[in-house]
Amino acid sequence: MNIIGRAIVAALFGLGLATAFAQDYANLRKNLESRLPMMGKIDEITKSPVPGLLEVRVGTDIYYADPEGNYVISGNLIDTKSQKNLTEERQEKLLAVDFDALPFKDAFTVVRGNGKRRVAVFQDPNCPYCKRFEKDMLKVDNVTVYMFLYPILGPRSVEMSKQIWCSRDKDKVWENWMTKDQAIPGPGPANCDTTAITRNVDYGKKIRISGTPTIFFIDGTRVPGAIGAAEVEKLLAKAK
- Select from 74, 95, 116 the last residue of a domain: 95
Residue 19 has pLDDT above 60, yes or no: no
Q: How far apart are CA 215 and CA 24, in angstroms?
A: 38
Higher-confidence residue: 19 or 31?
Answer: 31
What pTM value is reported for the model?
0.74
Q: Based on the domain organization, do 114 and 78 belong to the same domain? A: no
* pLDDT tens-digit readout, 181-202: 999 987 778 889 999 999 999 9
Cβ-contact 217, 121 below 8 angstroms: no
Residues 6+ apart with CB under 8 A from 43: 57, 58, 59
Question: With bands split at pLDDT 50, 70 and 90, how would you rate the model's confidence at 14?
Answer: very low
C-alpha pair distances (Å), 159 with each of 15, 128, 163, 200: 59, 17, 6, 14
Query: Does the pLDDT value for residue 142 go beyond 50?
Result: yes
Q: Which of 2-16, 106-120, 195-209 has the lowest mean pLDDT?
A: 2-16
Give the β-pairing of 72-73 and 61-65: antiparallel
Q: What is the C-alpha separation between 214 and 224, in angstroms, rounded?
A: 4
Question: What domain count does the chain have?
Answer: 2
CATH number of the domain within which 66 lies: 3.10.450.70
Q: How confident is the model at residue 44 (pLDDT cuts 50, 70, 90)?
A: very high
Angle among Cα 123, 126, 131 to the nearest 5 degrees reads: 65
The answer on 114 and 48 residing in a single domain is no
230 and 119 share one domain = yes
H helix intervals, 46-154: 86-95, 128-137
Domain closes at, from 71, 95, 119: 95
| Same domain as 14, residue 117 | no
Strand blocks (E) in 17-103 = 44-47, 54-58, 61-65, 72-73, 78-79, 84-85
Please indicate, yes or no, whether residues 40 and 105 belong to a single structural domain of this protein: no
Question: Residue 6 — pLDDT band, cuts 50, 70, 90?
Answer: low
Mean pLDDT of 131-148: 97
Same domain, 85 and 137: no
**pLDDT at residue 232 in the model:** 97
| pLDDT of 8 over the 80 cut | no
Which of 119, 136, 142 has the alpha carbon at shortest distance from 175?
A: 136
User: What is the domain range of residue 44?
Assistant: 3-95
Q: Is the pLDDT of residue 3 over 70?
A: no
Of residues 168 and 18, the one with the higher pLDDT is: 168
Residues of the chain above pLDDT 90, percent: 75
Does residue 17 register a pLDDT over 60? no
CA dihedral of 195, 214, 147, 217, whole degrees rounded to 10: -130
Domain-terminating residue out of 43, 70, 95: 95
Verify that 8 and 89 share a domain, yes or no. Answer: yes
Write out the E strands in 100-224: 108-112, 117-123, 143-149, 214-217, 222-224
106 and 38 in one domain?
A: no
50-109: per-residue pLDDT in tens?
A: 998 999 999 888 999 999 999 999 999 999 999 999 998 888 888 888 999 999 999 999
Task: Give the pLDDT score at 59.
Answer: 83
- Domain match, 122 and 15 both: no
Q: 3-class SS at 15?
A: helix
